[in-house]
Every structure is written in structure tokens, then in C-alpha cells.
Structure 1
């Protein structure tokens, strides 16, 4: 089927957008129209609010919003909100929380909260001349030019922490950076950082044009390529950890405490040296992190990008978590670079985000960093615990069972039967279908 381009799609009403899509791509299938309308919110004001979060909206896309209770974090007992569609994530996090509840819980440390941004520019001037210009003139001018932008942030304890000139001419001809570090208090700070950087670009242009040590040809060579924050924040770090005596590890799978500790440490070490395993290992960490990031209205894409870049900071992709078993003590921890906020963005707009933050006791940005690192560590602990004992499929497929039954159109009574049937069995897609067909004589 040949499709025709559309002009002014964004200017169409929601109904006009839907009608066009149905006609152009979906053979005017009214069942799809019902699906879209089924997910509208009955509260018109709330629906309008959701529509304005993004562009060209035609419906809502729901995700399950679950709660993982019993998280003892730095002495506070919390229930974590998790928005995630993957089976077993919330259950696994809850299981880890319960495991560590009577062993002191999770401890966290904020190592640093520095965020970064860059003005990237091309300038055909000898690096030593650019450095002299930066040190003795430009840096001061950059700080002066951004005073109005940074005033409110400085009043909240943040602002521009430092500015450096970075010579990248060995990597790209005539390429330099203004690398700035920022404190953004309780906000994620993206808009603040980008506003500062865009002013950097303007000030740089003005000051280069007036610099007496540069020739006219050198001045004219300046090209401001872009001014943008970095989602890689290796100096915005939180550590979360758990520890106990190996003799207190008691697992209900039948494995001895010593074997559990040994196998667990081996599993983490394998993820530290083998990128194929590290990728899946860290994906599991981010299952826990992202679910809380989404529930609190933060940017899970930025969180993912930063975590994976950090995992590869040595030049080889490695595990984000680490484990030791020295002196009969089991210790498991994560150092997670994460930049989040509790003001700005969706935090004051999305009703469920406001609920999530209230549920967590209205945390500061640093406290939310701690909660997210704990969620990732707990998720990873649960995954590794399953892998080295019963295997990952037993718990995962049991949680996936209802998805399979819903796909088959099972009744509520049939679902109860299957939950009981697989109570002491490992769920497999094939066996569910076989048993379902027998039940219905298919």
C-alpha cells in the first residue's frame, strides 16, 4: 500500500490525527480507534495535562505502577514506586529488600554531585595562545556573563563550580572545549546548564573578536559548534552497599552459605571481565534503577546512557556492581553515576510522580540518588541469587505465567488453576499451552 505524506500533522486535532492514521495506515479499522479511546482518561483536565507532556499525542500508553516494600535504606524503611512492564522486576526487588531487612539493610554514600557541560568550538590558533587567552581573560568574562543566570541556583547552593579549557586538537584539528562543572541542588539541571553554556558560546565569540593577540584570520576561524550538557556524569556518584557475615547469608534454595558466597562472587567477577555477561548483568541493574526513575518523573534514557558509559570508562565494558568475601564478610556494592532531580520537569506536573515523591518522603535529589542506587543493587542481587541457585527461569516464568494466560484468553478460574498447577513446577511457554489445550479439549 502506498502512503502519502501529510502536511501540518501537528496542527490537526487529536481526532483528525487518529482519522488520518486509520485511513492512511490501518484500513480504517475501527477496533484500533476503540483501543486508542479506551486509554483516554475520563477526567478531561487530566487528559489535557498528559496530552501536553509531548507532541502529536493521540492516546496514553499505560505501564504497570507497582510497589516494592520493606527497603531499609540508611535506617529509613521505604516502599519504592516502580513503573515497569517486565515480569518479576518488582517481585525480585521486594525479595531482595526482605532478604537484607534484618541484616542492617542498605547503606549509601553520596560521593559527589558534580554535573558537566561543554561548549565545543573550532579555533585555528596555537593551543598555548588559546590557553593564555582563557586563563587571563576569558574565564573571568564567562563567569561575569552568567551571573544573572546562576543567581537563583547559587542561592540554593549550586551554580558553576569550575570552567576549564580542554585542548582536543590531537583528536580533531583546531578543536577545543570549554568544560564546565555545575552544582544543581535538587534539580536535574539540564535547562540551567544549557542556558549557561549557550551564554558561554556568545561570550566566547565576543571576546575572541576583541582579543588583540589573535590575528583577524585567527578571529574569523572561530566556529561555535554546539553548547550542550553531558549526560555522562562520572563525578555525580552514589554508592549503595550491603554486607553481612557469610554465616548469615542463609538462602532457602538449599545451597550452603559458603557456596552461595563463593558462587555469587564468581558471578560478579565474570561480569567484571566478560563484556557479554556484563551487558546482561548491567541491564538487570538498570531494570531496578529505571523503574524508579520513571516513577519519579526523571529521564531514564539519560540514566541508561550515563551508567553504560561509566561501565566502559576503563576502555572495556564491565560490571557496575562488585563483591568481596574477605575475612568471612560478604560485601556487595555499586558505584552509580546518576543525575536526577526532584524539582522541575514532570515532578510538579504528573500526578503519579507527585505521589511517588510523597511516598518516598519528598526526598532531596541526593536522597533520590541513594534510593535509585539501592534499587539497582537490589535488582542485581536478586538476579544473581537466582542464577547461582534455582536458575533465572523458575521465578521469571512464574511471573510471566499470567501474560501467557492472558494471551490465550484464559478465564479467571483457569488462571487460578494454572497458578496452582505450576506452584511446584518451572513454567515453560510450551507446557502452559499444552496444558491449556488439554483443559479445553483443543
Structure 2
């Protein structure tokens, strides 16, 4: 069975992973600093650094991460010069996007971060709709904008050709910092969670990344997919209160904990609207003690209250993301994490050991009992030091359950 990974951060901010095919926690020694949070998906792992920066680790694979940049060169015919760059004032830019509305000169393209490199120089695309064009790649039309053809006709008054250049993501299997936006965010992040890969298969590798700031605001990372693993920008999501922690499942479940201990659920998440439409308020498991942590999977929600009690939410599914009620579970934990196939891990309150929930099945999602994971850290002979992990997430490598 293909291996899967369990991720963890210890109290010193070091990142470890435990493979279902391994016997010990492996330390990621190339980490540039200490980290506060880690969250993972099939193709990558995100982390929140102690410098409040967001870091991305894209796993190496046989399929390179490439992105195609393109721009169009536009010309108009006139009786003196023939086709030239001398356009009418009402025409599009000489160099533009496919619509002609955006100015896109060749020299205006920059790499989005130091994690990318150019594969080569710009070149003319000499194919049009699957057929070769003339050597210089021009396509012709009566006017802008209109339907283009590769054949030049007597009434072809304008022409355009597409220029292409590829860039490749080079920061594989290492922690690369996500560049900040042109304008800095108002306050640092305190929590992150990724998921959403089951919402749609197109575009390939699309993920949802949610973040919480120190002021209790929630942000959504736009544009994450296979050919753009860093995403494009952060968008603030309006809230009914101040959030302290958030969790995103592989599907359309997103839950968050409010400062006063209540919980909110994101509704309206679809293929075309991955960040959803609105929030629904859910009362916490205990009226006397508010929630402190929540974690969601495909069809389950687990929560921990401020007295370290563990709770399971029944009746949760895509049609009813809020569920129907809470069930008290045995055990005292400080954090909890739902992984593949709704399997559950947690960090013990007293011993800080990592626990696995045994007996979780499709027919019994709440499982049967907790079992401590006995695995030494990298370079250590005993398993006692494995008890200082304070935050863990799971990642699937080849769509298989984690087997520990």
C-alpha cells in the first residue's frame, strides 16, 4: 500500500513527519525557522512560521509544475506600411491579453517569487486551433475583436499572434516563503488550514487555504492549483465575530471557533464558489465551557472544549454541514485533527502524547478508543520524546488511508 504521512510540530517549532511505512518521526532539517502550525494535502504542505510568514513545501513528483504565460501582438493594415504596429486610437494595445483590454508587453512579465525560474525565452505559437499557421504565427480578421482565421484574406484588416513563455516551479521538497501581497495584510496570521481538494477536479490540484489573523479575521487564499501552487492573493472573508481557530476538510466542510467559544460553519461552498457564501452559528458542545478547537473531515466534526473534553458532532454531511447534535467522548485532549477517511488523531492533555482513534469506520465514525502512538523521533532511541507534539495534520500521498 502506498505510504501516507502524519505531520506534527513540536513545542520547539520543529516539523516532523511519520510515514505509514516508517517506524519513527522524521525531522525536516531544511526548515528555515521554527513553525507554529502545519497543514497538508496530497501534493503539498503549508506551514505558519514564527515570523508569521506562510511557507509552502511542494512534494517532488514526476509531473513538473509549469505555468504558461502568454501575450498577444496586435497589428493593423494601412495602405502605406502594410501590417504594422501603428494602431487606431480605438484599437487595443499593441501587446495585450486575449481580450485586448489588458496591456501586456513582453518585458512586463515577472516571476511571482524566487521559487520560479524561466524555462526559456519567448517564442511565437505557430499553431491555431490545432492546425499550423504560416511561419510567423499570424492569424487574421476583419477587425478587433472578431473571429480569427489562419488564412489571410482580401478584407483582413487586422492580425495578431500569440507569444508563449513557460516558467517552472523549482522549490520542490523545501520550505519556500509565500511572497506578501503588494500591500501588507493588517495583522499577522495565527492559524491556517488547507483542504477542499474533493470539491472539484478542475482545475487540477485546486486547494482551499484558510487563515486566521491575530485580530480574529479570516482570510482565503485565491487561485491555488497544480500550475500555481502558491496561489495568487489573500481575500478577507466577512465574519459574525472574532475567530481564534479554523479547520477545512477535503470536501466542502469549513468550521471555525469564535473567541467566546461558539462555532461557525461556512455554507454555500461549491465548485464555482470555493470560499462559500455565508456563515451559520452553532452552539458549542457545553453551555458552561466554550470550544477551544475544532477539526473537520469529509463527513465528521470533532471539537475540544476549554476544559479539554472531546466531543463528536453527529449528523454532519454536505447537505447538513451544521450537523444535529454533540456526543461527549472519553478522553482529555488539547488539540484534535481529522485526516483521511475521517481518521482521527489528537494530542493528550496530560502527557502531550500523540493519540490515534481506533475503530473509526464508515458505519461508526466516532470510533471506539484512543491509542497512543509509540514512535521515537529521528535520532532518538526511545519513544518518550514523541510526547511533545502540539499540532498535527495529515496528508495523503496516493489517496490511501494512513496506516499506523
TM-score by length of 1: 0.23
Higher-Rg structure is 1
Which of the two has greater helix per residue? 1
